[in-house]
Amino acid sequence: MKLTNRPRRTHAEEEEKPRLVSPGHAARSAVPRWLQGLLTPLLPAALLTWWVTGTVTGSIPQRVLPGPFEIWEAIQRLTENGEILRHLRASLARAGAGLFTGGIAGCLLGLVTGLSTLGNRLIDPLIQAIRTIPPLALLSLFILWFGVGEAPKVALIALGAAFPLYINTVGGIRAVDTRLLEAAKTYGVKPRRRIISIVLPQTLPSIFSGIRLAASISIMLLVAAEQVSTAGLGFLLLQGQSYFDTAQVIVVLLVYALLGMLVDLLVRFAERLALPWTGRETRR
Amino acid sequence: MTPVHPNSGHTDQPVVEGAVDPSDAAVSLRGVSQSFGNRSVLDDVHLTIPTGQFVALLGRSGSGKTALLRILSGLDPASAGEVRVAQRRTMVFQEPRLIPSQRVWRNVLLGLNARSRRTDALACLAEVGLADHADDWPALLSGGEAQRVALARALIREPQLLLLDEPFAALDALTRVSMHRLIRRLCALHGPATLLVTHDVDEAIALADRVLVLADSRIGLDLRLDPALDRSQGSSQQVAIRRTLLHALGADEQTDLPLASTQTELERHRGEPSPP
């Protein structure tokens, strides 16, 4: 009789009809919803409290982490007479130029590789080889080649942005539903038309995630590229570092974070505009 | 109408000259064989389909039905034999295969030249009862609706040969019945020769003027159905034809199976108390 693996059950319970449960029962969290809402800001709030009390009471040294007032002062100092805007503009121009040229180059090379077997044979091995070199390691070479002006910085960012777009374009083309192409073929759609009306739209989502990757990479590479310059967020960062101005370093870090978020939001917005057929409202 | 080689025009291969079939046929196959590797799926198939005839092609899975259809559509070349088909031919696949990035009416106009217009697409969508969905994205359609769009896309070109590759297989039973009615009506209206590939014997009897059974890489049975036939499910004629077809498919119905006793046996099983 005692074959069940729940020996604590009484006889009376066993004879009861099986209780009905709601199908999502097991998956639902034991934590009530109102508490879950409180959990999300819990850790950031704790960290913030630690920061404020630590810096005000002086248990955290200024050099390690400046307090809210010092940060506020740094922000004011950097924003008055538009100082930070000048640097931001310089950085955005570089990142934009690099992303644009590198992105277009990566996309075009990806199209050649994805659409023609000849291109695949010719281009892909070389690109895969170059891809293994860290872009940062190339900065020295670029400075030797292009000097210390804008060119090496833009080139570095362009190189970093090209790879994700290349890989995502090729991957997107490889993932196109061949059954659609087959159907178009039986309906007499010419090869060039098949590429324009089927392959490219089907590849766009993948290209857009490539753009998002490339955008964050180009912001990342800014820091390195602007080590040798007189303007830009990277310059501000380095300046803060050499003057032991931790507050300035932190302000620049905050700007980087904001920039990354904004760019990602922007690309997502552009994606939604460009791919109206993939939105949530078009699915059943 | 002059049958042409299936690879002419639409695909990249050049037109292969051959003897022009003099008869008014939409399909003419002579000694057609197809093999993949050393596996033969079609062996010396001869078939002529006259204009306007609705032919159902039955066969077990792997019997070469789809291989034959792909030859006729020009997607695959035959390994051997002479293939002549009508020039204007369209295909409806098992899945709708609509282009997700184009609105429904654009999908209907797939492959038509630039002069083809929205009004034409709307008229054709109205024929399949989907005029309201012309501006939807394909992802918004249900399975049955998407398949009707695929049908509209096939019919707008006024095909001389309509190839249907199990187009109802993925639909639920109710949708399938209304699709049957629709396709019968539209085929009668537009009058293409139709080749419907299916594994559903009842579907073949319900729709076709002529049923072919593909078995052992050949057409094992070529059955013409009387237009006056009582096609309703379970009528004596329908049952007799059904039995013939199943026999040709090698799947004989065990008609003398004691169904009732099986039923009671099931009941008894259900009534038994489940083991603790």
Q: What is the DSSP string of B183-228?
A: HHHHHHHH--EEEEEES-HHHHHHH-SEEEEEETTEEEEEEEPPTT
Residue A149 falls within a domain, yes or no? yes
Q: Could you tell me which of B50, B143, B34, B150 has the C-alpha nearest to residue B90?
A: B150
The confidence band for B83, taking pLDDT boundaries of 50, 70 and 90, is very high
Higher pLDDT: A32 or B225? It is B225
Residue B185 falls within a domain, yes or no? yes
Residue type, B74: G
Structural domain of A121: 72-272
- Please report the pLDDT score of residue A96 as a whole number: 94
Residue B7 falls within a domain, yes or no? no
Q: Which of A102-116, A196-210, B69-83, B218-232 has the lowest mean pLDDT?
A: B218-232
- The mean pLDDT of chain A is 87
- Please report the pLDDT score of residue A27 as a whole number: 58
Q: Tell me the residues of A at the B interface, defined by beta carbons under 8 Å apart.
A: 1, 3-4, 179-180, 182-189, 191, 197-198, 201-202, 204, 275-278, 282-284
Distance in angstroms (rounded) separating the CA atoms of residues B152 and B124:
6
Q: Could you tell me which of A148, A134, A144, A145 has the C-alpha nearest to residue A232?
A: A148
ipTM of the complex: 0.78
Chain B hits for A201, CB-CB cut-off 8 Å, are: 99-102
Distance in angstroms (rounded) separating the CA atoms of residues B230 and B234:
9
Locate the chain B residue with the closest alpha carbon to A1.
B276
Left (φ > 0), alpha (ψ -120 to 50) or beta: where does A122 sit? Answer: alpha
CA B202 to chain centre: 13
Structural domain of B219: 25-89+163-268
B156 has pLDDT over 50: yes
CA–CA min distance A172, chain B (Å): 15
Which pairing describes strands B161-165 and B193-198: parallel, antiparallel, or unpaired? parallel
Please state the domain count of chain A.
1
CB contact (8 A) between residue B10 and residue A188: yes
Residue A193 falls within a domain, yes or no? yes
Chain A hits for B91, CB-CB cut-off 8 Å, are: 183, 186-187
Q: For residue B184, what is the domain's CATH number?
A: 3.40.50.300
Please state the domain count of chain B.
1
Residue A137 falls within a domain, yes or no? yes
Residue B54 falls within a domain, yes or no? yes
pLDDT, average across residues B122-131: 91
Residues in chain B: 276
Q: Based on the number of CB atoms within 10 Å of its own CB, is B44 exposed (0-12), middle (13-18) or buried (19 or more)?
A: middle
Residue type, B238: Q
Tell me if B34 sits within 8 A of B40, measured CB to CB. Answer: yes
Residue B247 falls within a domain, yes or no? yes
Residue A171 falls within a domain, yes or no? yes
Distance in angstroms (rounded) separating the CA atoms of residues B203 and B191:
19
Regions of chain A short of the pLDDT cut 50: 1-2, 283-284
Tell me if A211 sits within 8 A of A172, measured CB to CB. Answer: no
Residue A9 falls within a domain, yes or no? no
Cα torsion at B233, B238, B242, B245 (round to 10°)? -140
Q: Which of A90-94, B112-116, B195-199 has the lowest mean pLDDT?
A: B112-116
What are B215's strand-pairing partners?
B218
Residue B174 falls within a domain, yes or no? yes
Each residue's pLDDT tens digit, B3-29: 566 654 444 333 333 444 445 789 999
Residue A38 falls within a domain, yes or no? no
B266 has pLDDT over 60: no
SS3 content of chain A, % helix, strand, coil (to 5): 75, 0, 25
Read off the tokens for B34.
Answer: 């197809």
Residue A188 falls within a domain, yes or no? yes
Q: For residue A131, what is the domain's CATH number?
A: 1.10.3720.10
Residue B156 falls within a domain, yes or no? no
